[in-house]
Every structure is written in structure tokens, then in C-alpha cells.
Amino acid sequence: MSLRPAVHLAIPVDDLGAARRFYGGVLGLSEGRSTDHWIDWDLRGHQLVTHVVPGGPVPAGNSEVDGHAVPIPHFGLLLSTEDFHALADRLRAAGVAFVIEPYRRFPGEPGEQWTMFLHDPAGNALEFKAFRDPSQVFTR
């Protein structure tokens, strides 16, 4: 049996109800198994697990990228341009505050992309991006 490569990511949250409303309601992820202290989420075929940890995540700081203070650590997804803009509209409609508003990064350069950053209710930083040319994800 061959498995499709996928990522498993476990993150701290301080309130499972808030995580359920955000990841299930706002982002629209399907919920998998759960207990009273963790929930599995289908992050487009990747397993994201929100675990209750008193105090939630601890940010490390920021890193300067293209004139913006990018929150560290962060995680997210590569999307199609159409899906990126649909998600940005969905987030705006839900009243989500952006850390970095959706914008086009590195225009005209290899790796040109749309990107946006936000926090979940526990303070975990998320990035969603869409490359103009998906074959340039790792182009220098």
C-alpha cells in the first residue's frame, strides 16, 4: 500500500470551541476524530491537529520579508490564485483581522506570489499563498 505524501502538524490552542468555530466554520475544514482536548482537521489532505495547551502558542518573533514583519512561527497552504482570492473574501466576510493583508509579493520576479497572514483565535500565525507560476515555488 502506498500513501500519498502529506503533512501532519500539531498546534497548541487554548479553547477547542474557538478552534472549532475558526477551523471548521471560518476556514471550512472538515473535522475528523476528536476528544475533549484535541481535534483533527483535514487541511486539504494534510492532518492538522489542534491540541489544548494552557496559554496557547508562544510566538518567537518576526522576520522581515518584502518589507513586512512576517510572524514566526507560521504555517499555511499553497493555493491556486482563484482559491486564494476566494479564501481572502471568505476571511474578510467573517471579520478576520489580517496580520498582513492579501497582496502580491515579488512582482515580476521568480516566485511571484499572492500572500496573506492572519492569526487563529489562539494566536497561531497562518499564511496562505498562491504562486503566479506554481512551478516556481522553489525557484531562486
CATH classification of the domain holding 130: 3.10.180.10
Q: Are 69 and 59 in contact (CB under 8 A)?
A: no
- SS3 of 82, please? helix
Domain containing 102 equals 61-136
Residue for cell digits 522553489? 138
Shared domain check, 74 and 42: no
pTM of the entire structure? 0.91
Residue 1 is assigned to a structural domain of this protein: no
Which residues face 69 on adjacent strands?
A: 64
pLDDT tens-digit map of 30-75 = 999 999 999 999 999 999 999 999 988 888 999 999 999 999 999 9
Shared domain check, 40 and 17: yes
Q: Are 98 and 128 in contact (CB under 8 A)?
A: no
CATH classification of the domain holding 47: 3.30.720.120
pLDDT at 1: 58
Shared domain check, 65 and 15: no
| pLDDT reading at 2 higher than 70 | no
Residue 110 is assigned to a structural domain of this protein: yes
Structural domain count of the chain: 2
The three cell numbers locating residue 54: 494552557
